[in-house]
Amino acid sequence: MTVDFQQSQINLPKLKGIKAKLHRPFVGKVKTVTVKRSPSGKYFASVLVEDSAIDPVPALIEPEHAVGLDVGLTSFLIDSEGNKTDNPKLLKASLIRLAVEQKKLSRRKKGSGNRAKQKRIVSIIHEKVANRRRDFIHQVTARLADKNHATTFAVEDLNIKGMIRNRKLARAIQDASWGMFLTTLDYKCRWNGKNLLRIGRFQPSSKLCNCCGYKMESMPLSVREWKCPSCHSVNDRDTNAARNIRDIGLADSLGHSGCIKSSPVDCPVRAGSTAKGVEYSQHGSQEAPTIAA
């Protein structure tokens, strides 16, 4: 295979005369090329390129520029500013088709030609689902990374999501998407000098009132909106949880444990790292956030 794109040229001696479709030009020095064949029979070449670009210094962590993100059952993503992003309809449609075709596959006799044919159909839909999900996640994360006023995002880590998941297919897909979402958002934040705070422990984010810190005894999934018995504020279930995630993320990065009420912190801190465990140095005095029971 020979790939020519301006100055970049790749020669793979074992794959002569195969045309390739390039999605973007290579900037930098090509180090390795990995060729993979998908179960549906398509070939993909991933090209590792070394460039000399250095990630920008992460922005200061400032509560007024922090956004909490949560995943919901009906929406894919909910933020602490009240925005909700639904799963795309196309993805839902291909998931239903996948379930139908998978059931057909389970009925085919082992070793039969029809089973092999059905297996190929299933793997093609699998690939479509994966492509649509990847496309969707790139759109969502690009929109977040481009948000001018948000320089810090707080999320729950994947293993916490794993703790609360059930065995339903929809939920499993949601979990898989959340993992990919976190990986993608993580590097886009690094490229754009933004911070990604991960909450590394379980917090009852849906049960706490974000206005006053009151903790509800129970919060059944059917409850979409609730009135706090303590401060009487009316909370949207998902937005309230996203706000708690934002505040827990901020509290963790400022060196406090527990859940904070969304009291403004008057002094920003600088993030030393955007990966797990935020290192920071503090500038000036800092008002202690209120710790809720």
Q: Is 228 in the site for Zn ion (CB under 5 A)?
A: yes
Q: Cα separation of 105 and 132, whole Å?
A: 22
Closest approach of Cβ 283 to Zn ion, in Å?
32
Catalytic residue check, 64: no
What residue type is assigned to position 289 of the chain? Answer: P
Q: Cα separation of 204 and 120, whole Å?
A: 43
Quick check: 243 and 250 in contact, CB under 8 A? no
Among 214, 216, 226, 290, interactor with Zn ion by CB under 5 A: 214
Closest approach of Cβ 33 to Zn ion, in Å?
57
Q: Is 216 in the site for Zn ion (CB under 5 A)?
A: no
Quick check: 78 and 69 in contact, CB under 8 A? yes
Q: Is 226 in the site for Zn ion (CB under 5 A)?
A: no
Among 105, 212, 216, 267, interactor with Zn ion by CB under 5 A: 212
3-class secondary-structure state, position 58 = coil
Q: Cα separation of 115 and 105, whole Å?
A: 6
69: β partners = 79
Q: Which residues contact 220 (CB under 8 A, 6 or more apart)?
A: none
Active-site position among 51, 62, 217, 238? 238
Closest approach of Cβ 70 to Zn ion, in Å?
18
Q: Is 208 in the site for Zn ion (CB under 5 A)?
A: no
Span from 81-89, 109-117, 212-220, 272-280 in contact with Zn ion (CB under 5 A): 212-220
Q: Is 267 in the site for Zn ion (CB under 5 A)?
A: no
What residue type is assigned to position 98 of the chain? Answer: L
Q: Is 263 in the site for Zn ion (CB under 5 A)?
A: no
Q: Cα separation of 17 and 273, whole Å?
A: 45
Active-site position among 4, 62, 64, 70? 70
CB of 22 or CB of 234, closer to Zn ion: 234
What binding mask, one character per residue, do residues 157-196 give for Zn ion by CB under 5 A, x or -? ----------------------------------------
Quick check: 278 and 271 in contact, CB under 8 A? yes
Q: Is 230 in the site for Zn ion (CB under 5 A)?
A: yes
Where are the strands (E) in 121-277, listed by range? Answer: 152-156, 195-199, 225-227, 234-236, 259-260, 269-271
Closest approach of Cβ 263 to Zn ion, in Å?
14
| Largest Cα span, the chain | 73
Catalytic residue check, 70: yes
Q: Name the site residues for Zn ion (rule: CB under 5 A).
A: 209, 211-212, 214, 228, 230-231
Which residues are marked as active site? 70, 156, 238
